[in-house]
A and B are shown apart, each in its own frame.
Chain A
Amino acid sequence: MRNRNATAYRFLAPYLLIFSVFWVWPIISSFMISFQATRTVPWRFAPGFNWGRLIGDPAFFNALKNTLLILVIQVPVMIALAMVMAVLLNSPLLKARGLYRFAFFAPVVVGEVAYSAVFRLMFSLDFGIVNKLLNSIGLPKIDWFSNVTPAMALIMIAVTWRWAGYNAIILLAGMQSIPEDVYEAATLDRVSKLKQFFYITVPLLKPVIVFCTVLSIIGTMQLFTEPFLITERGGPGGGTETLGLLLYRQGFRSLNFGYASAVAYTMAALAIAITLVQLWLTREKQ
């Protein structure tokens, strides 16, 4: 290839401009804002102001605790479920594959607002179809919105419903890129299907599984719309408040940009840590 600086930058410039203004600069800017007291005019540099408050803020720790709790339970369950979906959708024994694919993949196109609304109705105390169905098989109604544990469960159910198929698509694509003859060789060696799954599929798919997990963790970490709309601004009483919601309230309800930036950078730090773990997990073995 010949060096073509001018040509290359002519193609690159429009995107690079937007990318710098609306991504690179805000990343830097956000970091700086987190060290400023922003409720005075003009803003002044006060390194301990937001971060100091953060360390002692029960609301922050509540949000952090809730976010991590959702992460720890919801992500593994969803990835496992996505894996099951992918394996079964990939089975040559499956008939009407298109219908099943539609069922699991359809939530991928559903917007957060639309499905939050549906879940709110489906899980409402007296008139929700879920409680009605529970009742009809003799189980007691559950008050999904007034108690913390069911409310958290509801958030996790909703997120899992929305994103499991998405992960299944990625895992399925990964599985289909494993050459068929590897399995044929294993079958000839009388390796059972179950063992083939654990000793061939899982190891070969590891980078994809790790990728899905990281993607899901970073996605769930920013969870906002579901607790905002389904459990009514993180209710009951902050029981489903997440970091995303805290950032929204601090930044855009109280207009406390400095503190919200500190919350944002806490999320960034978590994301960086998780990405490093991913790199370590999928590093090339010598």
Chain B
Amino acid sequence: MAPVTLNNVAKRFGAFEVVHGANIDIKDGEFVVFVGPSGCGKSTLLRMIAGLEDISGGEIAIGGKVVNDVEPADRGIAMVFQSYALYPHMSVEQNLSFGLRMTGNPKADTDRRVKRAAEILRISELMDRRPKKLSGGQRQRVAIGRAIVREPQVFLFDEPLSNLDAELRVQMRVEISRLHKELGTTMVYVTHDQTEAMTLADRIVVLRAGHIEQIGPPLELYENPDNLFVAGFVGSPKMNFIKGRIVGRDARGVLVELAGQEKTRITQPLTGTAPEVGSKVIVGVRPEHFGDAGEGDADLVVGIDVIEHLGGTSFLYARTVHGEDVVIQRDAAKVPETPEITASIRKSYLFDDKGLRLR
């Protein structure tokens, strides 16, 4: 078990910089998830920790030791790949033991480790099968088993669930959570799926275009996003963004008018410096933070396009008079029958025109 420290880590392909000086402190035994849209550099970052990519700048330390020039095998890591990367010409048992056999690990110890991993993942009956004869979930278990066998200080997961169907994905997610509890090992996990990040992580690192946007526990990212990108990325359905303008300010906060709706004004308390009157801002409202008319600070009139019923709750896909799309979450019992409704805003976030959170 070991902490992982990234100190100003950068990756360049020629003149093209894909990771710009990342600083991350992963504590011993922590489960950290790198999340972001494709091309944000999250996989590159993981592969640099693994030693599969050269580090163009900065330092990576595992267990307090700088590993920039250490071979992947000597970093004390094990990795689970998106494609599982099982050797198709070997049985499950051979897959699990291959690395240890090839590096001259004593046979008795190899057998012990393979047996233990198989028990942890409940794949003991599959040991003689070839990967082709396994289901997606079983392959995933073998891939994780191959990592466990190495008894690493750090587990690295590169989008391990993205090739599974929805149901299996949930199941394996729980499985990985259980594994983390059982082993207590540091885990670094890469995904583009914010739900996975929210459910698995002790802390989430949100990345965009090679920059770290925010690091924090899942709920903190949800409740207290630093910027427009994080606010929009965390939470499902995503936060609604409505254009607005500052129309007044005092010591405690600002008054915001929503574009095209002079009557809808929101008072937003701010502790920092408030922007000047007249400056453009963006108001973020989560679908679950809309209430019935009169319940909140301000009322918003919207026309409903489509209603999605999910059983307990429903989502209203609607449009403001100014033409901005909004999604509103409602109890199924409270779905309106009129094509136009008034919804109140119970809670909102304010962002300046550069996308930074105003607090």
A residues with a Cβ closer than 8 A to B are: 1-3
Contacts and interface: CB of A to CB of B under 8 A. Distances in A.
Task: Give the 4 A-B CB pairs with smallest separation, nearest first.
Answer: A2-B54, A3-B54, A2-B53, A2-B52
B60 to A, nearest CB: 14
Label chain B's interface by main secondary structure: loop
Interface of B: 51-54
Contacts of A1: 53
A3 B52 CA distance: 10
Contacts of B51: 2
Contacts of B54: 2-3
A25 B53 CA distance: 37
A7 B52 CA distance: 15
A2 B51 CA distance: 9
B113 to A, nearest CB: 28
6 contacts: A1-B53, A2-B51, A2-B52, A2-B53, A2-B54, A3-B54
Contacts of A2: 51-54
Nearest to B52: A2
A3 B55 CA distance: 11
Label chain A's interface by main secondary structure: loop
Nearest to B71: A2
Nearest to A3: B54
Nearest to B51: A2
A3 B54 CA distance: 8
A1 B126 CA distance: 33
Nearest to A2: B54
Contacts of B52: 2
A141 B350 CA distance: 100
A13 B53 CA distance: 25
A4 to B, nearest CB: 10
A76 B304 CA distance: 68
B44 to A, nearest CB: 12
A2 B53 CA distance: 5
A1 B51 CA distance: 10
Contacts of A3: 54
A1 B13 CA distance: 11
A2 B69 CA distance: 11
A158 to B, nearest CB: 44
A1 B54 CA distance: 8
A238 B51 CA distance: 67
A118 B51 CA distance: 62
B237 to A, nearest CB: 36
A205 to B, nearest CB: 33
A2 B50 CA distance: 12
Nearest to B55: A2
A3 B53 CA distance: 9
A145 B51 CA distance: 70
A199 B309 CA distance: 50
B309 to A, nearest CB: 37
A1 B48 CA distance: 10
B90 to A, nearest CB: 23
A3 B51 CA distance: 12
A270 to B, nearest CB: 40
B346 to A, nearest CB: 51
A2 B72 CA distance: 11
Nearest to B54: A2
A2 B52 CA distance: 7
